[in-house]
Structure 1
């Protein structure tokens, strides 16, 4: 492993991160659909009951490799977007029956609305207040009046704790991946935290390479998310899921 790669700027934009670009094809061995069974079931109930009326169409912003969508597509007509073309390709291969579009969650405008708009953990890449509020604005702009926006950040500032995680899987093609994830808050006075990833990638011929990268993610207060939803025309509330995450629900207020 080249030690110089450890000095990669943590401010690298999400769309330029190596793991979502040239390493995108490894996503199914990093975070496959089978790891999302419980979360998808829990979230499905939230999406169904978030607002009254129809809940047939769903737009997911920052849908990544589609592992969550894999469990939701039986219940909604899904439109799946991501700013990284490589991840959209992985998602399309897993969920070919869904609509797939390349687009940035801070600026996307499709000119149509949906019963539900979901931003799952990709919302952590809204790494400053302007990006976070712009993402909320995008979500609300695509939500029909009376429909619901559901935001699921990994954490808020009140619940953040440093952590480590490891895992990975082997593929039927002979490839394998193992990873280490390490989260910490280098400066508690700002509204960001750092996530370092280290990967060991085994090719089908047994060749092993190593990659590492640092991501910088946004860390905002519970009341910030509620305020942004209310400022963009939603009645907002939050609930805690079984993993202790704040799930923010905004019901778009019909125009008078």
Structure 2
């Protein structure tokens, strides 16, 4: 995907750590208060450019897993304290468990039930018995609304403007379309335009809960500050 490869170096301007602060504080507190004993190690699946890790690393010893070497390079720069592993979160196996597992933006890219369930299985395998996992989908079917967003950023050397357009051509399937348009100005004043269309997954709440239970978690639904559903899960202390 262009957004995570060709445009990876622009990510601090597209969406930097500051934009994730409030959410990361909320999610970090939720994880810390939900585990007994309090979680000390955290696996961030689909960590991207490390925006969440930037805030969470103050409270956890973190391991960040992502498929894109370009995005992970950005994360390594802002989070040198964190361990980084390049891998596909649907199939990666690290050979150890963590007190907590966190899965955020990357969930949007799971467009089939089998892919989403594979991520849940990865989280379960890496969550210690008695540990917690937090899944934060951008959207679920019951709360989805088409939307448009836009913005921009300026630095001393370059500038960016963007528009994001989210639509649902077929409400009967499990996907939505997200169109991104970027205008990128470099230090010499040259401007280029980049368009990318992504297909994102969209599943109903009941399907989320069913799949989480099927891999072994005990899930519950929590509303975050944006009044969207997040799924807080516990792995039973007895081994499966």
State the TM-score, normalized to the length of structure 1: 0.91
Paired residues for 1:24-43 under 5 Å: 24-43=8-27
Q: Residues 31 and 168 of structure 1 are in contact (CA less than 8 Å); yes or no, is this contact kept in structure 2?
A: no
1:143, 1:149 within 8 Å by CA — same for their partners in 2? yes
* Deviation of 1:146 (Å): 0.3
Q: Residues of 1 paired with 2:215 and 2:85: CA distance?
A: 24
Alignment correspondent of 1:53: 37
Deviation at 1:46, TM superposition (A): 1.1
Structure 2 equivalent of residue 211 of structure 1: 194
TM-score (norm 2): 0.97
Q: Is it true that 1:240 corresponds to 2:223 in the alignment?
A: yes
185, 201, 205: which one pairs with 1:222?
A: 205
- In 1, distance between residues paired with 2:225 and 2:149? 19
RMSD: 1.0
Q: Is residue 70–residue 94 contact of structure 1 (8 Å, CA) maintained in 2?
A: yes
Matched, 1:78 2:62: yes
The 3-state SS of whatever aligns with 1:78 is strand
Does residue 186 (structure 1) correspond to residue 169 (structure 2)? The answer is: yes
RCO higher in structure (CA 8 A, sep ≥6): 1
**What does 1:161-172 align with in structure 2 at a 5 Å threshold?**
161-172=145-156
Q: Does 1:92 align with 2:86?
A: no
Show the counterpart of 2:132: 148
* Cα separation, 2, equivalents of 1:144 and 1:27: 32
Q: How much has 1:171 moved relative to structure 2?
A: 2.7
How many residues get paired? 239
Q: CA deviation at 1:59?
A: 0.5
Could you tell me which runs of 5 or more consecutive residues in structure 1 were left unpaired when the two chains were aligned: 1-16
